[in-house]
Each structure stands twice: as C-alpha cells, then as structure tokens.
Amino acid sequence: MRRMLAMWRRLWGGAAAREEFEAELESHIEMHVEDAMGRGLTYEEARREALIKLGGAEQTRQAVRERATLPLVESLWRDVRYALRGFRRNPVFAVTVIVTLGLGIGATTAVFSVVDRILFRSLPYANDGRIVSFGLSQPLEPNALLMQ
C-alpha cells in the first residue's frame, strides 16, 4: 500500500508539493544565511555561500524533481510528442514508418505462430510422449569428420 501511495504522489504530486518544496528550500537557504551573517558576512556574501553549500538552488530543484517524478515516463512522453510533431510535418515518412512497423509485426507474429505450433506445443495424439521415430542416424563425433 505504501508503494502505491508513493507512486501516486510521484505521478500526481501537484502544485502543493512544489510550493512546499520551494518554501522548504528557501528556509534552508535562510538558515545558512543567518549562520553566515553571524560570522560577519554581508547578506549577499552569506546568500552566495549558502547557495554554494547547498549545491546551487537550481541543481537542487532539478535533483528533487527527478527523484519526485518518474523520469522514464516523462522522457518517453516527450519523445512520443516529438515523434508525433515530426509525423505531422512529414506525412509520407509517417506512412512509411507505420507500414514498415505493421509488416514487421505481422511477419514476426506469423513466424512465431508457426514455430510455436511446431516446436513448443505437443502433438495432437494420445500418449504423444511415447511416439518414436525410426531412421538412419550417425552419432556426431568431433574427430570423425577430420579423419575421413
């Protein structure tokens, strides 16, 4: 249950979570600024030192954003939108891609259907494990071919 709740928050965190994070980040910066000003620095110097200590506000925001969301899903969504924009600009290419994918998926499905029926499914006979095949065969020995 806890994992599902965390996933829900990652997907639909919303503006409230972002505002809460911004307020928390600003309070951390102000705490560092107050400490530095207590050592005799000016406000600008203290704020600069605080931002350096935290690793930069924008870098911290980016790290939290990546941790709080699902970067894989977001980048996949961005890629899909980019591809759709490209298809809209060049419809001939879009048709070519769609036909190629359709043919490839169809051929793969047909080959798998045949291979599945021949290799993986049992024969349609009763006691198919007892069926024996007779024929000529010669055991393959590694040096037998070299000696001849």
Specify the range with the lowest mean pLDDT, choosing from 120-124, 138-142, 144-148: 144-148
Burial of 41 (0-12, 13-18, 19+ CB in 10 A): middle
pTM, two decimals, is 0.39
Distance CA 7, CA 5 (A): 5
Q: Average pLDDT, whole number, for the chain?
A: 79
- Ramachandran category for residue 41: left, alpha or beta (phi over 0 → left; psi -120 to 50 → alpha): beta
pLDDT score for 51: 81
75-106 pLDDT per residue, tens:
888 999 999 999 999 999 999 999 999 999 99
pLDDT score for 96: 95
46-69 pLDDT per residue, tens:
888 888 887 777 777 777 776 766
**Domains in the chain: boundaries:** 2-69, 73-120
């690793």: which residue's tokens? 55
